[in-house]
Amino acid sequence: MLGHPSPQNRLGLRQPVCAPAVPVTGTTRQPRKLVAAPLPAPDDWTPRSDAYFASPLAQGTPGKQCGLAATGDYQPSLRSPWLAADEPSYDIAEPVAYDAIEQAGVNAGCHLFYHGSLALRADTSRQTAEHIKAHDSDIVFVDVNLRPPWWQHDQVLDMLRGADWVKLNTDELSLLSASADGAAFMAEYRLHGLVLTHGAAGAEIITADGSHIRVQPTTDAAVVDTVGAGDAFTSVMILGLVNDWPLKITAQRAQAFASGLVGRRGATVSDRTFYQTYIDDWDIVV
């Protein structure tokens, strides 16, 4: 289920962020307050564990509690990462809770709606996402996750139609497009922007107005664990979009944050000082 409003959550955002407990996210239009719309749970749902919003950002005290529940044969999302040829791979369970995201109770209109393609592998969740997209979402940001066997070529391409921003890596682009040309791919799907990641070589951002920005890690950046690097990059791209940061600054900050994360073990860091450095450097209001 989705969490309830938490007034003390602030990320320095021009628009507030809607943060559900499943991988479908949108930002509402009320000023400067982190909120999330409640999604009523059926009577037969039973809680499996406690979940909290991080509130405020990077602080040790948990914020307002939200519900995490499962019904029938569904379980919370489980992904077990492991390394193959120094690249992270995942054992992804099915079915899980994000395969059953229903439309009832979801606030459709939002400033920014973000989702990964993996979250829409099931019909129920895919229909809910289309419902949100069709009801006045200012920016739709799709994060492509091609995890065999949980994707179909045409189905993923359908998700990109109507998107404003898409993030994917070079391997994923090659699988989805015969030309593997980022600019042509962006034009074909009429995107406003494309984030194309190149692993250790960094990333490039291409926009419909002709901007083409490349960023790369510093040569002395330590690499301990690359799990979560793409999500780290995307999170700062979204932060920049909702705050109207200049694109070049957004890209540089996204790369800096991703580079910092891969120097630590795991996709998240429990040490609050890790995040505080970026909060201070970027003048984020907490």
Cα(37)–Cα(105) distance, integer angstroms: 8
Inform me whether the pLDDT recorded for 58 exceeds 80. no
Task: Work out the pLDDT band at 269, boundaries 50, 70, 90.
Answer: confident
String of DSSP letters for 189-250: TT-SEEEEE-GGG-EEEEETTS-EEEE---TT---S--TTHHHHHHHHHHHHHHHT--HHHH
User: In the predicted model, is pLDDT for residue 84 greater than 80?
Assistant: no
Question: For the segment 1-37, what is each residue's pLDDT rounded down to a tens digit?
Answer: 232 233 333 344 433 333 333 333 444 433 332 333 3
Which DSSP symbol is given to 153? H
Asked whether the beta carbons of 23 and 29 are under 8 A apart, the reply is no
Which residue in the block uniquely carries the two structure tokens 């990320």? 11
Provide the pLDDT for residue 32: 31
**Are 107 and 18 within 8 A, CB to CB?**
yes
Query: 51 vs 209, which has greater pLDDT?
Result: 209
Residue whose structure tokens are 């982190």: 34
For 46, the 3-state DSSP assignment is: strand
CA-to-CA distance for 286 and 225, rounded, in angstroms?
A: 28
- Looking at per-residue pLDDT, the higher value among 50 and 178 belongs to 178
pLDDT at position 270 is 86
**Angle at alpha carbon of residue 182, lines to 179 and 183, rounded to 5°:** 105
pLDDT above 70: residue 68? no
Domain coordinates in residue numbering, the chain? 24-34+73-281
Percent of the chain scoring above 70 in pLDDT? 66
DSSP 101: -
Q: Dihedral through CA 142, CA 143, CA 146, CA 152, nearest 10?
A: -10
Q: Which band of pLDDT confidence, cut at 50, 70 and 90, is reported for residue 239?
A: very high
Give the pLDDT band (50/70/90) at residue 122.
confident
Q: Are 1 and 41 in contact (CB under 8 A)?
A: yes
Residue 236 near residue 254 (C-beta atoms within 8 A): yes
CATH superfamily, domain 24-34+73-281, is Ribokinase (3.40.1190.20)
| CA angle at 220 for the pair 277 and 279, rounded to the nearest 5° | 10
Least confident of 67-71, 147-151, 165-169: 67-71
**What tokens were used for 190?**
């009429």
